[in-house]
Chain A
Amino acid sequence: MERTAGAGRGAGKVLSMREAVAAFVHDGDTVSLEGFTHLIPTAAGHEIIRQGRRDLTVVRMTADIVVDQMLAAGCVTRLVSSFVGNSSAGSLGELRRRIEHADPEPLVFEEYSHYGMVCRYLAGAQRLPFYPLRSYAGSDLPSVNPGIRKVTSPYPAADGSTEDIYVVPPVHPDVTFIHAQRADRRGNTQIWGLTGVQAEAVYAAEKAVVVVEELVADEVIRADPNRTLVPAHAVDAVVLCPRGAHPSFAQGYYDRDNAFYRAWSAISKDPARLRGWLEEWVYGTADHAAYVAKLGEEFWAGLAVGEAPSGSVDYGRRL
């Protein structure tokens, strides 16, 4: 039986990026942008910049180019992250100026490791008070991050001894943005390739916005339910935004723009050049479609990928 969309989460979920950011991102909010090197929600970050949001806490495991851009645009006062670098391609100029010289203003930084971040999302998604992990013993990180604490396990270890373990607190973003290959209009979201921490980041959040390369018919999703990483009940808005993960990639859609990653170190190193880049590519484009058009078809042809379809499985049906 077809389930119709409910009054709350369900009806009218398909929004433009402008509408989604206007509705779900407010000054002072905690905003998670996830996608582990793949499917990075860059277009969402750019629209947050265009709308001039301020005092955001950004939560992102690998704070890379899009975070550097949001920092440069003055959107962010606090960063929660486990890797603050430009992939393996170099430095984030604005982030380094903010942390090393408080230039043009300080940045509060909560430093974790990757699994610490994953555990914060898991605790947030599961409404747990904390999440234990076998990391941080002997690290200086707990001394600069009071969120990382040590507790004594209530259970004896295998050899009967008492066991201490570090824990991290839950994170509950006001809104999480993820980018995905496709979803239906109600938000059933399918991702393939690197799946990162997207599902946990969505479930940890109060609101979730899924940005997709393609909006597809219900039948497409239902032909392969195991590929749905995020079910519609967890999604508040669906935004159609092709090529919205550039300069990262979307498996099966377009490749990573490695040249831009390499270029970013030089662009971001010079504050004036970075402001110029934002003026031209973010403030100077009305939306992501304009950014895509400005890059031009020849550019996109250079990131085109060939086909490598999955094998299909047989879900069977009752006779």
Chain B
Amino acid sequence: MSGDRTRSTRAVTSSELLSVVAARELAGRRTVFAGIGLPTLATELARLTVAPGIEVVYESGVCGAHPSHLPETIADAVLITGAEAVVSMATLFGSVLQGGHIDVGFLGAAQIDRWGSLNTSVIGEWESPSVRLPGSGGAVEVMANAREVFVVMRRHTPRSFADVLDFCTTPGPDRALADGIRPLGAGVTRVITELGVLARAGVGDELRLVAVHPGVSVEQVRAATGWELKTAGRLATTAPPTSAELRLLRDDVDPNRVYLR
């Protein structure tokens, strides 16, 4: 169809690129703890491509949602009607997350450091912040208990990729270890940004640049990062979204462009 052709050949937006890259990273993963927005697009696209059996668990307690419409929030009524299960907060955080049933947790943050620790509490001093942010929600629990964590950051700036966090709300496993407690998961293993992809393997490893998006230089990413960013031995360039990925994202996953801003 000429309409489809127009859609799939339209210039790729930043949201589309981030969704496609995140979806590819979900290959082989089974259970994902995700919020609404880019993670929704990534997991739905992954379901249609690299991870057909993927199950999303929402922070509201919904497991195995089959929504009739794209949900606007994690508590959208369309996630509940027709879902496979809805559990209480005690079961969700206690048994599902802390019980070790989540492969990948998606988190966002105002600041991230090279060890994958996150700040979602304050900019400035905690006691008298210049900006009060929403706080942890369940992020502390997701980081402590999911096998690994993916972080999606729309903006890649030295302030958000901080040498030192203003406040550590959600510690990565290296900080947990320094506090004398053995971490259960690997912490942040992927950070997907507007410029490229950063990765780390687990405890003792810092985030390194593993891929730049088409048209982005290593120097550009380094300049946008608040610490001395190391680069992987084999630096990749992100393969641009395929026409099949774009068609699925634009026509099937989010035809009304609720999240594809």
A185 CB-CB contact with B under 8 Å: no
A15 at the interface (CB under 8 A from B): no
Task: State the CA gap A84–B122 with chains docked (Å).
Answer: 11
B77 within 8 A of partner (CB): yes
Known: A118-B90, A118-B94, A138-B176. A193 touches B168 (CB 8 A): no
Please give the distance in Å from A269's CB to the nearest CB on chain B: 13
A135 sits at the interface (CB 8 A): yes
* A 122-139 to B, binary, CB cutoff 8 A, 1 in contact else 0: 100000000001111111
Segment with Cβ contacts to A, from B7-15, B17-25, B178-186, B220-228? B178-186
Q: Does A299 contact B (CB under 8 A)?
A: no
Cross-chain contact A113 with B183 (CB below 8 angstroms): no
Q: Is B207 an interface residue (CB 8 A)?
A: no
| Chain A residue with the shortest CB-CB distance to B134 | A85
A61 on the B face (CB < 8 A): yes
Is B135 in contact with A82, judged by CB distance below 8 angstroms? yes
User: Which segment of A22-30, A67-75, A211-219, A248-256 sits at the interface?
Assistant: A248-256
- Asked whether, in the complex, the Cβ of B136 is within 8 Å of the Cβ of A194, the reply is no
- A258: chain B residues at CB < 8 Å are 72-73
Q: Which of B42-72 contact A (CB under 8 A)?
A: 59-62, 72
Among the interface residues A37, A83, A140, which one has the most CB atoms of the partner chain B within 10 A? A140
By the criterion of a CB under 8 Å from any partner CB, how many residues of chain A are at the interface?
55
Q: Are A256 and B77 in contact (CB under 8 A)?
A: yes
User: Which residues, 80 to 113 on B, are CB-close (under 8 Å) to A?
Assistant: 80-82, 86-90, 93-94, 97-98
Question: A36-B75, A114-B93 known; A195 and B137 CB under 8 Å?
Answer: no
Report the separation of the CA atoms of residues A135 and B97 in the bound assembly, to the nearest whole angstrom: 11
Q: Decide yes or no whether B172 CB sits under 8 A from chain A.
A: yes
Give Cα distance in the complex from A256 to B198, angstroms: 37
Q: Given contacts A195-B61, A256-B77, are A113 and B171 in contact (CB under 8 A)? A: no
Q: Is B231 an interface residue (CB 8 A)?
A: no
Which residues of B are found within 8 Å of A199, using beta-carbon distances?
Answer: 88
State A164–B176 Cα separation when bound (angstroms): 11
Tell me if A265 counts as interface (CB < 8 A to partner B). Answer: no
Q: Is the CB of A141 within 8 A of B140?
A: yes
Report if B175 contacts A (CB, 8 A): yes
Contact with B along A60-94 (1 / 0, CB 8 A): 01100000000000000000011111011000000
Q: A113-B140, A140-B168 are in contact. Are A134 and B145 (CB under 8 A)?
A: yes
- Which of B123-131, B148-156, B209-217, B237-245 is found at the contact surface with chain A? B123-131
Say whether A200 faces chain B, with CB atoms less than 8 Å apart: yes
Please indicate the chain A residues that have their CB under 8 angstroms from the CB of B117 in the complex: 138
- CB-CB < 8 A to A136: which residues of B? 140, 171
Asked if A286 is an interface residue, CB under 8 A from chain B, the answer is no
Residues on the B chain within 8 Å of A141, using CB = 121, 136, 140, 169
Contact B75 A38 (CB under 8 A): yes
- B100 nearest CB across to chain A (Å): 10
Residues of chain B within 8 A (CB-CB) of A165 are 181
**How far, in whole Å, are A319 and B35 apart by their CA atoms in the complex?**
49
Interchain CB contact under 8 A, A305 and B77: yes
What range describes how many residues of B lie at the interface?
35 or more
B residues in contact with A113, CB < 8 Å: 135-141
Return chain A residues, CB-CB under 8 Å to B169: 139-141
The answer to whether A256 touches B88, judged by C-beta atoms less than 8 angstroms apart, is no
Q: Which residues of B contact A163 (CB under 8 A)?
A: 181-182
Question: Taking the complex as formed, is B189 at the interface, i.e. its CB lies under 8 A from any CB of chain A?
Answer: no
Of A84, A133, A139, most B-chain CB atoms within 10 Å: A139
Out of B37, B73, B178, which one reaches A256, CB within 8 Å?
B73
* A258 vs B73: C-alpha distance when bound (angstroms): 9
Whether B132 is near chain A, meaning CB under 8 Å from some CB there, is yes
B172–A138 CB distance below 8 A: yes
Q: Does B144 sit at the interface, judged by CB under 8 A?
A: yes
Nearest CB to that of B174 among chain A residues? Answer: A138
Residue of B whose beta carbon sits closest to that of A196: B89
Contacts of A295 in B (CB 8 A): none
Q: Which residues of B contact A150 (CB under 8 A)?
A: 179
B31, CB-defined interface residue at 8 Å: no
Residues of A within 8 A of B35 (CB): 88
Q: Are B61 and A194 interface neighbours, CB within 8 A?
A: yes
Chain A, 90-103, contact with B by CB distance < 8 Å: what is the 0/1 string?
00000110011010
**Once the chains bind, are B140 and A139 in contact (CB under 8 Å)?**
yes
Given contacts A194-B61, A196-B88, 20 further A-B contacts (CB under 8 A): A38-B75, A112-B136, A115-B94, A115-B97, A118-B90, A118-B93, A133-B98, A133-B141, A134-B98, A137-B180, A138-B172, A138-B175, A141-B140, A141-B169, A144-B126, A193-B80, A195-B61, A256-B72, A256-B76, A256-B77
Could you list some 20 contacts between A and B, CB below 8 A? A83-B134, A85-B135, A88-B36, A113-B137, A113-B138, A114-B59, A114-B137, A138-B178, A138-B181, A139-B175, A140-B168, A144-B127, A164-B181, A194-B60, A194-B86, A195-B86, A196-B88, A249-B75, A251-B77, A256-B77
A residues adjacent to B (C-beta < 8 A): 36-38, 61-62, 81-85, 87-88, 95-96, 99-100, 102, 111-116, 118, 122, 133-141, 144, 150, 163-166, 193-197, 199-200, 248-249, 251, 255-256, 258, 305, 308
Pairs A-B, 10 closest by C-beta atoms: A138-B175, A85-B134, A138-B171, A37-B75, A137-B181, A137-B176, A113-B140, A115-B93, A113-B136, A114-B138
